[in-house]
Structure formats: structure tokens, C-alpha cells
Structure 1
Amino acid sequence: MSKYVALGLVETFGLVFVLEAADAMCKAADVELIGYENVASGYISVLVAGDVGACKAAVEAGVKAVKDMGTEVYSSVVIASPHPDLQKITKRYTIENLLP
């Protein structure tokens, strides 16, 4: 986590909606798409990292994109100054670790 000062997450139901959220998040601010996780029963979370302002803008854009498609955001959060140990969790969900 040393290169990031914030994490931003959006969780919604369904791959199409989370892809729309991720696209909006990456286009709205200078953030890096860290990865995603299919949480349970179709709920999927997408994770971005960057500076605090960028993560806030990205999460707001992701939430708006999901709502504009007519569905609900289950959860969203920006974590400023994440503890370095969170990397033990987030590393598991990086795009590189999800590819075959």
C-alpha cells in the first residue's frame, strides 16, 4: 500500500453493473483499478487505489453510474491512509491474481 494513500470500493449486484461502475471510476479520476471480488450470490465489489481526492471522485462516479442504470449500490467506501496490512487482503483480489 505504500504507493497509495487511499482505497475506494463500490459493491453492487451483477457483473454488468460493476463493470459500468469500474469504467466510470477509472474515467473519472486518476486511480488504478486494483481488482474485483465476487462476494456472494451475485454481489461484486470493485477496488481502486490512488490519492484520497481521486478515490472519492472515483467512488462518487461509480455510485452514480450504477444508480443511473436503475439499480442499487449495496455499499461504497473510501479508506484514507489504509493500514499496510490491508495489502494482505487486497493483494488476493488484484487482476493479476485472478487471471489464469
Structure 2
Amino acid sequence: MERYQAIGAIETFGLVYVLEAADAMVKASDVEVIGYENTASGYISVIVQGETEACRTAVDAGVRAVEKMGTEVYSHVVIPGPHEDLRKIIDRYSLSVLLPEETSE
């Protein structure tokens, strides 16, 4: 099983803010958005993967972007070398599961 070098996540309230965070994250560093989760209460998390320092840079940029919009980040984290069992959680919220590619005819 592939092991991520690092994962980073930001959780905030509202789609607009998490989109701004995700945009800032991928523009600031060499990371890939791998998933998101929208809870019933309106909190939304975005998850990225990449090198550890790239994830740190990305999460910092995402936090700054959300705060610049006048709201706060509920939580954020960078996990270097996550245990392979976290894959079960990551895959649950993966974009490939949530938004499968269309099959060509």
C-alpha cells in the first residue's frame, strides 16, 4: 500500500472559505488536494498530500487565506509520515471516491 509522505488538513466553516484555503494551499506549495469532507453542521475540511515541508507551507498559506477573509480556521494539522491505517480515513473522503471520473463511450 502506498504511504503518503505527509498529509495536511484545514477545517473551517463554509464552502467559500475552504475553497479559498484549498486554492491558497495548492498555489503556495507542491501539494495535491486529495479529498474533502462537508459535515452537516457546515464545517468543511480539505486534505492535501505531498512532502512534509510542502504540506506545512500549504497549510500555513491556507490558514492565512481563511483568516484574511475575516473568519477563523476551526482546526488544522500536518502529519508527517502518517501510518498506513490512516489510508482508510483518507480514502473515505478521497476526491476519486466522491467524484469518480466519467467513463468514455
Shorter chain as normaliser: what TM range?
over 0.9
1:60 paired residue number: 60
Could you tell me the percent identity over the aligned residues?
67
Deviation at 1:96, TM superposition (A): 1.6
2:19 is aligned to 19
Structure 2 gap segments, 5+ residues each: 101-105
Which residue is 1:51 aligned to?
A: 51
Equivalent position SS for 1:76: strand
Aligned-partner residue type, residue 32 of structure 1: E
Whole-angstrom distance in 1 between the partners of 2:3 and 2:30: 13
Deviations 1:23-79 (A, max 9, x none): 000011000100100133100000000010000000000000000000010000000
Number of the residue aligned with 2:73: 73
Query: Structure 1: how far apart are the matches of 2:76 and 2:88?
Result: 20
Does the CA contact (< 8 Å) of 2:13 and 2:43 recur in 1?
yes
Unaligned runs of 5+ in 1: none
Separation (CA, whole Å) in 2 of partners of 1:19 and 1:49: 16
TM-score (normalizing by structure 1) = 0.95
Partner residue of 1:97? 97
- Root-mean-square deviation over aligned CA pairs: 1.3
Pick which of 2-11 and 80-89 moved more: 2-11
1:45 and 1:62 mapped to 2: Cα distance?
Answer: 11
- Greater Rg by CA: 2
Alignment correspondent of 2:4: 4
Normalising by structure 2, report the TM-score: 0.90
